[in-house]
Chain A
Amino acid sequence: MTTDTKFADERLKLSPFHDRQAALNLRDSWSVWNGYKFADYYYDAEYEYFCVRNTCGTYDICPMQKYLIEGDAAEAMLNRMVTRDITKLKEHRVTYVCWCTNEGRMIDDGTIFKLGPKKFMLTCGSPSLAWLKKASFGFDAVEIKDITDTLAALSFQGPTTFSVLKEMSLKGIEDLKPFQIGYYDFADTKLMISRTGFTGDLGYELWIENDNALELWDTLYEIGENYGIQPYGEAATNMARLEAGFIMPYMEFNEALKTVHYQHDQTPFELNLGWLVDFNKPLFNGRQALLLDKENGPKYTLTKLDIEGNKPAEGSYIYGDKKCSLEIGYVTSAMWSPAVKANIAMAMIKTEYLHGEIWAEIYYEKELRQYDKVARCKIKEKPFWAPSRARMTPPEKY
């Protein structure tokens, strides 16, 4: 038996964009997402990050899980599952949601696309079919289909994205508002575009059947050449999303269904996502538990920090005093933000200490020597990076 056949089932799946992406992956730096071969970075993470912030970039979201949920009871089923009231969601609109166990612990977050009166698409980071099946039990008229492997998707982010799409002659693209979905003639088919993304900047997500994926790529890169187009990977995404204040699984939160230790998962209130929880809804999964969590106050609160100095506070403990005698939390993500020119972080801090002093104990290395410093932190209420161009309709043209 050759290794080829012996491990055939273990091979990573290749995204429909793989051929083009592999050619551009100068560093052969691959990791894995949901069984797909997936770029960590292509050339240099920081370079890719700067492209996203200053020109434009594509990020392969084929491995993101996509489910079609259709039928008379589709809305009721989803509405019971997620904490937000999606009966208010209009057709051809997208909304950010999270869903919880009955104990109010967050299972995952994602987006719901309302594609028709009884047709929704749910996207999320991790496979969720088992949970969706559980959540649909008792609703007869719901059909759930995993379309992850057949619907190619590309996140197209950055200030020049609109200019590229405009030059592709997508009729009416200038009218597409944030969180809106549009359909455009492309390659004898319909290209679905949502004005969504994970970078906090102007950006779109492009959805097309696998068969037309490469044609889409080639068109984007042909026109995009003059607009600084560059594929970016996981590393640059992680930088951009932190600046935008978006949470990441296994950094800010641990998926409740995969958490073993008691309360090592999080509630939406702990993650500062209380705005996603709509108690006007009579019932959703975790409602009772979340009412209590809200009433008692979450144990921890995810907090955005502006930290003095320039040493990223990665993995730092957070203290309530400079002497580091009162431990009050831990950093979940941290970086030096080139766009904001600040040392930023997100941290889980015990709610009761949010109003006092906050200090991070930062360890760093300089040419094999280990150092540490204690830096003062300031709470930031707003996302670190939220340019107005992200929300403008029509967007600026370059």
Chain B
Amino acid sequence: MQHFDTIIIGGGHNGLVCANYLGKAGQKVLLIEASEKLGGLAATREFYPGFKASVAHAINQFPEKIVSDLNLTRFGYEQSSRSMKNIGLDLEGNHVFVTQDGLSGVSDKEVRQYDLYIASLKRFAKALQPFWMKKMPAIGGNTIAEILTFIQIGLKLKLLGKKDMRELLRVASLPARDLMDENFDSDLLKATLSWDALVGSTQAPRSPNNSILTLLYRMAGNHHGHYMLPEGGVQSLIDALTDAAKSVGVEIRCDSPVKKISIKADKNGVKAEGVILDGGEEITGDRVISALDPKQTFINLVGAEHLEIEFLNRINRLRTDGYVAKLHLALSDIPNFTGIETLDDRFIIAPTMDTIEFAWDDAKYGQCPENPVIEIVIPSLNSPALSPEGGHVLSANIMYIPYRKKGGWSEESKAHLVKKLLNTLDQYSPGLSEKVIHAELLTPVDLEKDWRVTGGHWHHTELALDQMLMMRPTYEAAQYQTPVDDLYICGAGCHPGGGLMGAAGFNAAKVILT
């Protein structure tokens, strides 16, 4: 029987990042992945002969620190200096363009207001920046490191100055709608700017909670929230992380679903001592790290008999229902969008904030929205290898598509939704549906089944105030350690959360190494 210093379950980007740091520190690491490929939701896969796409279709906040620590450029990861515009599409062609340098397509007044708006958001994002790549202090924790982190949080806020601090505390939990209404007039602009506060969450413009905080979280990257595609696409990040991991001796096993985390239970308590694979094979390790979502980790892999009652019930009540579906279109030709010249940007179909709100209203009662709101990227422009010569791939996030659809999901209901989506897309890109060779729709249920993510939720666990920071996923597991000795977690369900960031994997590795 093989023995490792560390066994990491789940070869998504967080598992990979964690494996890299531990491998680099000299540990003998095994990374186990259930599916045939590493990368999880970021993995690029063929969805139709010759056409490839990844569920996570662009990158916006992968930390520079990890790129340089792990020397990822040496392993072929080329960050693009070009950030994608966010383009709010208008049926008449009066689109709104949001770039890193400012706005166009709106009135001068709005352009000027945007500069003020984005400047203050950038200051807030910068103040929060240090906390994403950091273990959060435990509530009630009294170690010097924990107290220092609390002081640092306070100091960072204090350094913002009285005016900004008040404003940050005010807007952090403000509904997106209020912030947009305060600042802007154009419906399309408001909807476009609120997109990144909402996408991937169970929040709509009028939902109170933390949509602006989510927006600030997304602004943590180099491009202040704008997305980019590396040379070679999203897969190049996964490839670089994989090669880097191999270079430091990380052993990788794909096609190896884990059935149980093996637990040693005796008078000293419970401790993880390895994993048992689906086939019954046992592998032992000094510690086990799970990059899977908290529900899978604790409810399925550890099991109730090894965890205390309140803890397991808190894990169970985590909100994990996904509301984003993914549409992949194999196209015979490049699409045209009315009034758009270059297509390697990010397009948003959400004409007003009400459209977004109504889409959510439908979804929260288990219906597919009458008018879905959509984010589009055409990754094959950046990475020609994703499609055959002349063909293209259109990759779209569709909001809000319920995990718990009334009556459940069927091939029929999926086909119905695809038809509706193509109708909508045709309005903005005339003739698009005629170019469609194949359409793949991945509902949150599909994401759950094929990517093994509970609820099909991007973030494993909803990024909401009560499930963030030192409450993520819940206390007693918010510092990457768990109530089970030698069992750690490092997935998107940990602080700081999901998105292609890798900070959870980084933070977990740091906890283990110090």
A283 touches B309 (CB 8 A): no
Contact of A139 among B304, B313, B316 (CB under 8 A): B304
- B299 interfacial by beta-carbon distance below 8 Å: yes
Chain A residues near B483 (CB-CB < 8 A)? 288
Chain B residues near A101 (CB-CB < 8 A)? 310
Q: Which of B286-326 contact A (CB under 8 A)?
A: 299, 303-313, 316
B309 touches A76 (CB 8 A): no
* Interface band, chain B: 20 to 34
A283 touches B307 (CB 8 A): yes
State A80–B310 Cα separation when bound (angstroms).
12
Tell which of A130-138, A174-182, A232-240, A348-356 binds the partner: A130-138
State A283–B307 Cα separation when bound (angstroms).
7
Contact of B265 among A282, A285, A288 (CB under 8 A): A282
Measured between C-beta atoms, what is the minimum distance from B260 to chain A in Å?
13
- A311 interfacial by beta-carbon distance below 8 Å: no
- A102 interfacial by beta-carbon distance below 8 Å: yes
B269 touches A287 (CB 8 A): yes
Chain A residues near B313 (CB-CB < 8 A)? 134, 137
Measured between C-beta atoms, what is the minimum distance from A295 to chain B in Å?
14
A286 touches B270 (CB 8 A): no
- B266 interfacial by beta-carbon distance below 8 Å: yes
B309 touches A135 (CB 8 A): yes
Provide the A3-20 mask, 1 if CB < 8 A to any CB of B, else 0: 000000000000000000
- A184 interfacial by beta-carbon distance below 8 Å: no
B267 touches A282 (CB 8 A): yes
A80 touches B316 (CB 8 A): no
Provide the A125-145 mask, 1 if CB < 8 A to any CB of B, else 0: 000000000110111000000
A76 touches B267 (CB 8 A): no
A-B contact count, CB below 8 Å? 57
Chain A residues near B309 (CB-CB < 8 A)? 80-81, 102, 134-135, 137, 285
Which of A137, A139, A287 has the most chain B CB atoms closer than 10 A to its own CB?
Answer: A137
- A280 interfacial by beta-carbon distance below 8 Å: yes
Which of A76, A81, A283, A288 has the most chain B CB atoms closer than 10 A to its own CB?
Answer: A283
A282 touches B312 (CB 8 A): no
B316 touches A137 (CB 8 A): yes
CB closest residue in chain A, given B265: A282
CB closest residue in chain A, given B311: A102
Q: Which of A69-97 contact B (CB under 8 A)?
A: 76-77, 80-81
- A279 interfacial by beta-carbon distance below 8 Å: yes
B307 touches A282 (CB 8 A): no
Provide the B69-106 mask, 1 if CB < 8 A to any CB of A, else 0: 00000000000000000000000000000000000000
Q: Which of B109-125 contact A (CB under 8 A)?
A: none
What DSSP secondary structure best describes chain A's contact surface? loop
State A288–B270 Cα separation when bound (angstroms).
11
State A81–B312 Cα separation when bound (angstroms).
13
B312 touches A137 (CB 8 A): yes
State A285–B307 Cα separation when bound (angstroms).
8
Chain B residues near A77 (CB-CB < 8 A)? 304-305
Measured between C-beta atoms, what is the minimum distance from A313 to chain B in Å?
37
Measured between C-beta atoms, what is the minimum distance from B478 to chain A in Å?
15
CB closest residue in chain A, given B312: A138
CB closest residue in chain B, given A284: B308
Contact of B266 among A80, A139, A282 (CB under 8 A): A282
State A138–B493 Cα separation when bound (angstroms).
20
State A137–B312 Cα separation when bound (angstroms).
8
**Contacts A137-B316, A139-B305 known; A280 to B310 CB distance under 8 Å?**
no
State A77–B309 Cα separation when bound (angstroms).
10
Q: Which of A279-305 contact B (CB under 8 A)?
A: 279-283, 285-288
Measured between C-beta atoms, what is the minimum distance from A106 to chain B in Å?
14
Measured between C-beta atoms, what is the minimum distance from B295 to chain A in Å?
11
CB closest residue in chain A, given B302: A138
Measured between C-beta atoms, what is the minimum distance from A304 to chain B in Å?
31
B305 touches A80 (CB 8 A): yes
Chain B residues near A285 (CB-CB < 8 A)? 308-310
Provide the B218-247 mask, 1 if CB < 8 A to any CB of A, else 0: 000000000000000000000000000000
CB closest residue in chain A, given B300: A138
Chain B residues near A80 (CB-CB < 8 A)? 304-305, 308-309
Provide the B179-193 mask, 1 if CB < 8 A to any CB of A, else 0: 000000000000000
B270 touches A283 (CB 8 A): yes
Chain A residues near B269 (CB-CB < 8 A)? 282-283, 287-288
Measured between C-beta atoms, what is the minimum distance from A88 to chain B in Å?
14
**Contacts A134-B313, A282-B265, A282-B267 known; A102 to B299 CB distance under 8 Å?**
no
Q: Which of B390-411 contact A (CB under 8 A)?
A: none
Chain A residues near B312 (CB-CB < 8 A)? 137-138
Contact of A279 among B267, B303, B305 (CB under 8 A): B267
State A273–B421 Cα separation when bound (angstroms).
65
State A394–B303 Cα separation when bound (angstroms).
45
State A386–B148 Cα separation when bound (angstroms).
57
**Contacts A282-B265, A283-B269, A283-B270 known; A76 to B305 CB distance under 8 Å?**
yes
Interface residues of A (CB under 8 A from B): 76-77, 80-81, 101-102, 134-135, 137-139, 279-283, 285-288
The 10 A-B residue pairs whose C-beta atoms are closest, nearest first, are A138-B304, A282-B265, A102-B308, A280-B267, A102-B310, A285-B309, A135-B309, A76-B305, A285-B308, A282-B270
Q: Can you offer 20 A-B residue contacts whose CB atoms are under 8 A?
A: A80-B304, A80-B308, A101-B310, A102-B309, A102-B311, A137-B309, A137-B313, A138-B299, A138-B305, A138-B307, A138-B316, A139-B304, A139-B305, A282-B265, A282-B268, A282-B306, A283-B269, A283-B270, A283-B308, A286-B308
Interface residues of B (CB under 8 A from A): 265-270, 299, 303-313, 316, 483
A80-B309, A102-B311 are known; give 12 further A-B pairs, CB within 8 A.
A76-B305, A135-B309, A137-B304, A137-B316, A138-B304, A138-B307, A280-B267, A282-B269, A282-B270, A283-B265, A283-B269, A285-B309
